[in-house]
Chain A
Amino acid sequence: MEPITTFAGRAVALPIENIDTDQIIPARFLKVTDKAGLGDALFSDWRANPEFILNQPHAAGAKILVAGHNFGCGSSREHAPWALLGFGFQAVVSTYFADIFRNNALKNGLLPIVVDAATLDQLISMCAEDPDTLLSVDLEQQLLLLPDGRRVPFPIDAFSKHCLIHGVDQLGYLQAQAAAIAAYEARHPDRVNTLAAGA
């Protein structure tokens, strides 16, 4: 994964709360065996409406999605962050994120940025007033930088931050614990054997 430190880009607002993974990418697009082309399916059913925000000219090339409360509830499909990244987004801003979505996003370099409700409201109005609202993100400092000069801090767990900034792959990190894993297995009898005969 490419290291991420700072980036800037246009923001688009989708001020709807509880946006679920079935909206982000409907299930009919999950029959694929790779990740290619999923950006085209992002919000597919909503994009059928020509008025939808992502169909507007200024949405092309946008990097930051400002969404209503509780983004990403529903399914565990990692296709959701893959589709957002495929479209070009590098961050989603909301007041909170569903657990599995947040995990999936962080593993793919899509930043879930948590802000308070008042800040979210301001961001939504800013985007409504100026479709070319530019935001920047400083991951090292954990800051979201607004066009009016405000610097909004956001939380991120130390481990995910480290992995994103250094482009560290979490699988590699786990593999490095092979000895501890083997020791655990030696101390604990198997609870199940799926290969057992007679099943």
Chain B
Amino acid sequence: MPKTLFEKVWDAHVVQAADDQSPATLYIDLHLVHEVTSPQAFTVLRERGLRVRRPDHTVATMDHSTPTTPRGADGTIPVTDAVARKQLEQLVANCREFGIPLFELGTANQGIVHVIGPEQGLTQPGMTIVCGDSHTSTHGAFGALAFGIGTSEVGHVLATQCLLQNKPKTCEIRVEGQLQPGVTAKDIILAIIAEIGVGGGTGYVLEYTGSAIRSLSMEERMTICNMSIEAGARAGLIAPDETTFEWLKGRPHAPKGAAWDQAVAEWRTLPSDPGATYDHTVVLDANTLAPMITYGTNPGMGMPITGRVPSPAAQADHSQRIALDKALQYMGLEPEQALLDHPIDVVFIGSCTNSRITDLRAAADILRGNQVAPGVRVLVVPGSQQVKAQAEAEGLDQVFTAAGAEWREAGCSMCIAMNGDQLQPGQYAVSTSNRNFEGRQGRGGRTFLASPLTAAATAIAGRIADVRELLGVAV
């Protein structure tokens, strides 16, 4: 029977099949660990006298609560928040005790967990990958089955390298056509979530297919898979192809020599077979997509940048009406209002959605030779130390600082606002991150999600801007 990519990866990892009484036991190839969701899991191991079964399938980094402020005279990044410091020290202690490799704060390979996995070549097609973090869906861009888990499950994987899983359903999201100038992968995924809603993917693994997806770079594919969770999906997948192999080749943990050829041969068997069926299909036309922006307090509340905020009164469903009304109140927006030219206090370029080198290049291309509007704070936060080094080698840091933006150390930063990088109550931000929930970027802060291009154009204007005007594209 023809199989989908998801079914192939799933079937290859079943340790014990599901039956009427219990879910399947799934083997996990790679377990990514960070400081925030792991401490209580290590505590459970210690309480029960357990070891980590496969430290060689596990890797840890520091990202969520780490400062992105400049290094001290000794070259280290000072952690002034005592609670965060304790959490980071706990991760160091846990990794030492259990023999897990750790990318410590400020060291050459440290960065956001979903940036470093691919960067190191640890993320490979056909794998199962988990992390105590919902954006683990990012790694699906390589054709790996990757999903977020809770801390109890982090403990399960540490102790047994396995997880109990109920098999999700599959949904194909087919995106055909070609993106217009100024429209990016971020706009594709924001359009998808606006279409299916923040609960639309619940219970499903999404597989993104179609000519528009095939033509995307790996970084762009990661942006798309990253936000699968924002539609509620268990995971997002894109079939591996030449773009994938090209990107992975030569990375530190990618197979070498004959092992590489063998791996590629195996990876070529992964794409969904002709005739394989999905439980559901959604089709999107890339040709007609515009830059997207969110207006509300979940990522599904998005629209083309030239659009108008919807009216609660026009919603069919009572609870949608309440939710939209509440969102607009929080955002300080009126029904039918246009967002173009809405004033902005902060622009955040970063997060595991859009902090890779290509994102920074795209933002720098817009900012080069321009100035950030007076009174606007712009933070550019590379996703990893590797991205930071690469950007500096290309002089992008100079472009950002010359324009008046802040160039920071690597980490999650204002995406989750745990490390001191945060909005003040009432401030408006255009952010390249993935969540515009109430208070996500700081208590009372108000977030518009958009692409790096839109963020950079907005930084210059000081108001929400349509990058297509800067690019001289007819709208």
A residues in contact (CB < 8 Å) with B: 15-18, 20, 22-23, 26-28, 30-35, 45, 68-70, 73-78, 96, 98-100, 103-104, 107-108, 157-159, 162, 170-171, 173-175, 177-178, 180-181, 184-185, 188, 190-196, 198-199
Q: Do A76 and B87 touch across chains, with their CB atoms under 8 A apart?
A: no
- Closest 6 interchain pairs by CB? A104-B150, A33-B39, A70-B199, A78-B150, A76-B148, A78-B151
Partner of A74 from B39, B161, B323, B437 at Cβ < 8 Å: B437
- The segment out of B57-65, B286-294, B337-345 that lies at the interface is B57-65
Closest to A34 in B: B40
Q: Is B101's beta carbon under 8 Å from chain A?
A: yes
* A158-B22, A192-B127 given; A33·B202 CB < 8 A: no
Interface centre among B53, B55, B160 (most CB of A within 10 A): B160
Q: Is B120's beta carbon under 8 Å from chain A?
A: yes
Interface residues on B, range: 35 or more
Q: Is B435's beta carbon under 8 Å from chain A?
A: yes
With contacts A174-B164, A192-B253 known, what are 12 further pairs, Cβ within 8 A? Answer: A22-B438, A26-B443, A30-B65, A31-B65, A31-B86, A73-B199, A103-B149, A159-B21, A171-B152, A171-B160, A174-B159, A192-B127
Q: Report A86 CB to chain B, min CB distance, Å.
A: 13
Partner of B253 from A22, A34, A199 at Cβ < 8 Å: A199
Q: Report A102 CB to chain B, min CB distance, Å.
A: 9
Closest to B301 in A: A18
Q: Is B261's beta carbon under 8 Å from chain A?
A: no
Q: Do B443 and A32 touch across chains, with their CB atoms under 8 A apart?
A: no
Residues of chain B within 8 A of A103, CB atoms compared = 149-150, 153
Kindly state the separation between the CA atoms of A32 and B437 in the bound complex, as whole angstroms.
22
Partner of A194 from B43, B87, B101, B164 at Cβ < 8 Å: B101
Residues of chain A within 8 A of B202, CB atoms compared = 70, 96, 98-99
Residues of chain A within 8 A of B155, CB atoms compared = 171
Kindly state the separation between the CA atoms of A99 and B136 in the bound complex, as whole angstroms.
14
Kindly state the separation between the CA atoms of A170 and B319 in the bound complex, as whole angstroms.
36
Q: Do A194 and B319 touch across chains, with their CB atoms under 8 A apart?
A: no
Q: Do A162 and B21 touch across chains, with their CB atoms under 8 A apart?
A: yes
Kindly state the separation between the CA atoms of A27 and B35 in the bound complex, as whole angstroms.
13
Q: Do B198 and A178 touch across chains, with their CB atoms under 8 A apart?
A: no
A-contacting residues, B114-140, CB 8 Å: 120, 122, 124, 126-127, 132-134, 136
Q: Is B389's beta carbon under 8 Å from chain A?
A: no
Q: Is B46's beta carbon under 8 Å from chain A?
A: no
Partner of A180 from B16, B44, B156 at Cβ < 8 Å: B16
Partner of A191 from B29, B64, B323 at Cβ < 8 Å: B29
Q: Do A175 and B159 touch across chains, with their CB atoms under 8 A apart?
A: yes
Q: Do B443 and A107 touch across chains, with their CB atoms under 8 A apart?
A: no
Q: Do A27 and B440 touch across chains, with their CB atoms under 8 A apart?
A: yes
Partner of A175 from B81, B83, B149, B160 at Cβ < 8 Å: B160
Q: Report B390 CB to chain A, min CB distance, Å.
A: 18
Kindly state the separation between the CA atoms of A23 and B327 in the bound complex, as whole angstroms.
13
Q: Is B30's beta carbon under 8 Å from chain A?
A: yes
Kindly state the separation between the CA atoms of A68 and B325 in the bound complex, as whole angstroms.
15
**Could you show 12 A-B contacts with beta carbons less than 8 Å apart?**
A22-B438, A26-B439, A28-B418, A31-B36, A33-B90, A76-B136, A96-B202, A181-B25, A191-B29, A191-B30, A194-B59, A199-B120
Partner of A33 from B87, B99, B320 at Cβ < 8 Å: B87
Residues of chain A within 8 A of B20, CB atoms compared = 158
Contact with A along B165-192 (1 / 0, CB 8 A): 0101000000000000000000000000
Q: Is B162's beta carbon under 8 Å from chain A?
A: yes
Q: Do B443 and A35 touch across chains, with their CB atoms under 8 A apart?
A: no
* A23-B437, A78-B150 given; A191·B15 CB < 8 A: no
Contact with A along B1-43 (1 / 0, CB 8 A): 0000000000010011000111101010110000011011001
Q: Do A192 and B30 touch across chains, with their CB atoms under 8 A apart?
A: yes
* A33-B39, A70-B202 given; A177·B166 CB < 8 A: no
Q: Do B322 and A107 touch across chains, with their CB atoms under 8 A apart?
A: no
Q: Do A16 and B15 touch across chains, with their CB atoms under 8 A apart?
A: no
Q: Is B232's beta carbon under 8 Å from chain A?
A: yes
Q: Do A174 and B25 touch across chains, with their CB atoms under 8 A apart?
A: yes
Kindly state the separation between the CA atoms of A15 and B317 in the bound complex, as whole angstroms.
13
Closest to B48 in A: A171
Partner of B160 from A177, A192, A195 at Cβ < 8 Å: A177
Q: Is B252's beta carbon under 8 Å from chain A?
A: yes
Q: Report B365 CB to chain A, min CB distance, Å.
A: 32
Q: Do B166 and A157 touch across chains, with their CB atoms under 8 A apart?
A: yes
Kindly state the separation between the CA atoms of A16 and B27 in the bound complex, as whole angstroms.
37
Residues of chain A within 8 A of B199, CB atoms compared = 18, 69-70, 73, 96, 98
Q: Report B231 CB to chain A, min CB distance, Å.
A: 9
Residues of chain A within 8 A of B149, CB atoms compared = 76, 100, 103
Closest to A26 in B: B439
Residues of chain A within 8 A of B122, CB atoms compared = 192, 194
Residues of chain A within 8 A of B16, CB atoms compared = 177, 180
Q: Report A78 CB to chain B, min CB distance, Å.
A: 4
Kindly state the separation between the CA atoms of A22 and B64 in the bound complex, as whole angstroms.
14
* A76-B148, A194-B57 given; A174·B252 CB < 8 A: no
Q: Do B440 and A22 touch across chains, with their CB atoms under 8 A apart?
A: yes
Residues of chain B within 8 A of A78, CB atoms compared = 37, 40, 132, 150-152
Q: Do B322 and A15 touch across chains, with their CB atoms under 8 A apart?
A: yes
Q: Report B56 CB to chain A, min CB distance, Å.
A: 5
Q: Do A180 and B25 touch across chains, with their CB atoms under 8 A apart?
A: yes
Contact with A along B376-407 (1 / 0, CB 8 A): 00000000000000000000000000000000
Q: Do A177 and B319 touch across chains, with their CB atoms under 8 A apart?
A: no
Closest to A191 in B: B29
Q: Do B437 and A16 touch across chains, with their CB atoms under 8 A apart?
A: no
